[in-house]
Structure formats: structure tokens, C-alpha cells
Amino acid sequence: MIFSGRFYDAKTSHEYGLVDKVVEGDGSAVIAEATKVAKRYATKYPPFAIGMAKRAINNGLNCSQFDGLAIEAQAIALCFSTEDQKIGMRTFIEKGPGQAEFIGK
């Protein structure tokens, strides 16, 4: 893909796994779906872990693989010091995945 410089339509991009979902309709339909997904991430997932993931991605883009892995390892270690991590692990064991209610700490 990078070598050819070709553009891919939404359907092909979805088939290749480049996008998670294709939204039909005008721009307002796309904005509505993006807002729905953003709200899910803002309410269902631990905010500190989301922040650490964003930081690792942003800081890891312009460094060596070695440094990128160090950034990732540091972010994971920091996440394991949070109350949300303990809530997530306990809930996973007791109730299964996707059941935790995180408190943002």
C-alpha cells in the first residue's frame, strides 16, 4: 500500500482491517457515530490507561523501536499502580471481561 500510493475506498479499507467500521450517509452520520464511539471510550474504559496509551503512541511515533518499547513498558507499569487496574482485574475474574465500572483513579 505504501509503495503503490494507491487510494482505497471505505469498503476495501474495512476488508483490509484499516478501519473498524464504515458509516453510510452524510458527514453528520459520521460525526454521530464518532461521537458515540468517543463517549463509549470516555465512560467505559479507565481514563488513566487511555491517557497512557495515547501518550505511548504519540511519544513512540518518532523514536527507535527500543525507545518505543521502553515508553510502552513504562506506561504499563504506571497503569498497574492505579485503583482502576485493581478494579478491572478483580471484575474480570469475578464477572468476566467488559463488566468493570472504573472510577478514574
Instruction: Domain ranges for the chain, please list them.
Output: 1-44, 46-105
| pLDDT value of position 65 | 93
Round to whole Å and give the CA distance between 24 and 10: 10
Instruction: Taking residues 77-93, report their average pLDDT.
Output: 94
Instruction: Taking residues 10-34, report their average pLDDT.
Output: 92
Share of the chain above pLDDT 70, in %: 100
Report phi then psi at 97, rounded to 5: -70, 150
> Quick check: 57 pLDDT over 90?
yes
CATH number assigned to the domain with residue range 46-105, chosen from the 4 options 3.55.10.10, 1.10.357.10, 3.30.420.40, 1.10.12.10: 1.10.12.10
Given a contact cutoff of 8 angstroms between Cβ atoms, the answer to whether 60 and 73 are in contact is no
Instruction: Taking residues 50-61, report their average pLDDT.
Output: 93
Distant-in-sequence, close-in-space partners of 52: CB < 8 Å, separation ≥ 6: 75, 76, 78, 79
Output the pTM of the full model.
0.68
